[in-house]
Amino acid sequence: MSDRIDLFLEGALESANRTELSKFFKHFMNARFGFSIVGYFLLTDRGIHTHLKDSIRYHNFPEGYMEDYVENRRDYNDPILKEAHRSNFGFHWFDLERTHGLSTEERRYLDRIKSNGIDDGVSAPVFAKPGRLAYFCLTDIGKVFPFNQSELHTVQMICQEYHNLYEGFNQAENIYELSRKETVVMNYISQGKSNAFIALELGISSHTVDTFVRRCFLKLRATNRIDAAVKALSSNLICYAD
């Protein structure tokens, strides 16, 4: 199956932007492996766990699935997510029932997936910059994917190549990917507001605001508040205040 990696790269490298790349990736995974349902999630950035809502880069899960996942914090009992954090290799979702000592809630989580007509699924953790971890969820309704470890590795390598190219487009397009809360904080910073003011407005501690500010500085590669505000404004991550 290693020829599939070369075939993927041949098509993917013709992509002019992230949109074209993602469209090709989704088509390729469906046509070559039978995965019509794909999820792509950023787990950590610079070693910091990504906020659940901001971790979603793409998914075409059934309507309402991710909304329920986020609203009800299903991540707390999601053994697939936990395995993606600690594994270096691709894996079958329901193998976790056999190979891991899952809690009752974790088993219920997998049962819930099965109740939606999912008989099998594969996840592949991928890596880029140090401290930056993502993973893919790949499946289809009513299908089984009898991949051996070598075939799982091929799937993982294709996901890794897609992730590398996606990250490359991010850098080329100067996309910093601020989270929702970081965007709010940056809006206040661009208005010259202090951390104490922001904390009071958002109902959070000054320490938490300081954490958001430091994350913004890291993502924007900024050295001070003015530098960060200028970069955020020029990248259209925030808007000029009226």
Condensed to tens digits (0 to 9), the pLDDT of residues 89-99 reads 999 999 999 98
In this structure, the answer to whether residues 154 and 197 fall within a common structural domain is no
Q: Looking at residue 6, which CATH number applies to its domain?
A: 3.30.450.80
Q: Looking at residue 198, which CATH number applies to its domain?
A: 1.10.10.10
Higher local confidence (pLDDT), 107 or 133: 107
In this structure, the answer to whether residues 162 and 184 fall within a common structural domain is no
pLDDT of residue 174: 57
Q: Which domain-ending residue is among 120, 154, 172?
A: 172
pLDDT at 152 over 60: yes
Q: Which domain-ending residue is among 172, 193, 216?
A: 172
Task: Please indicate, yes or no, if residue 241 is contained in any of the structural domains.
Answer: no
Q: How many domains, the chain?
A: 2
HEC profile for the chain?
CHHHHHHHHHHHCCCCCHHHHHHHHHHHHHHHHCCCEEEEEEEEECCEECCHHHHEEEECCCCCHHHHHHHCCHHHHCHHHHHHHHCCCCEEHHHHHHHCCCCHHHHHHHHHHHHCCEEEEEEEEEECCCCCEEEEEEEEECCCCCCCHHHHHHHHHHHHHHHHHHHHHHHHCCCCCCCHHHHHHHHHHHCCCCHHHHHHHHCCCHHHHHHHHHHHHHHHCCCCHHHHHHHHHHCCCCCCCC
Domain of residue 201: give its range. 180-234
Task: Please indicate, yes or no, if residue 242 is contained in any of the structural domains.
Answer: no
Q: Which domain-ending residue is among 172, 195, 225?
A: 172
pLDDT of residue 175: 60
In this structure, the answer to whether residues 135 and 197 fall within a common structural domain is no
In this structure, the answer to whether residues 191 and 128 fall within a common structural domain is no
* Model pLDDT for residues 4-40, shown as the tens digit of each residue: 999 999 999 999 888 899 999 999 999 999 999 999 9
Query: What's this model's pTM, rounded to 2 decimal places?
Result: 0.71
Task: Please indicate, yes or no, if residue 92 is contained in any of the structural domains.
Answer: yes
pLDDT at 3 over 60: yes
* Model pLDDT for residues 182-204, shown as the tens digit of each residue: 889 999 999 999 999 999 999 99
Higher local confidence (pLDDT), 128 or 123: 123
pLDDT, mean of residues 222-227: 88
Task: Please indicate, yes or no, if residue 240 is contained in any of the structural domains.
Answer: no
In this structure, the answer to whether residues 226 and 149 fall within a common structural domain is no
In this structure, the answer to whether residues 75 and 39 fall within a common structural domain is yes
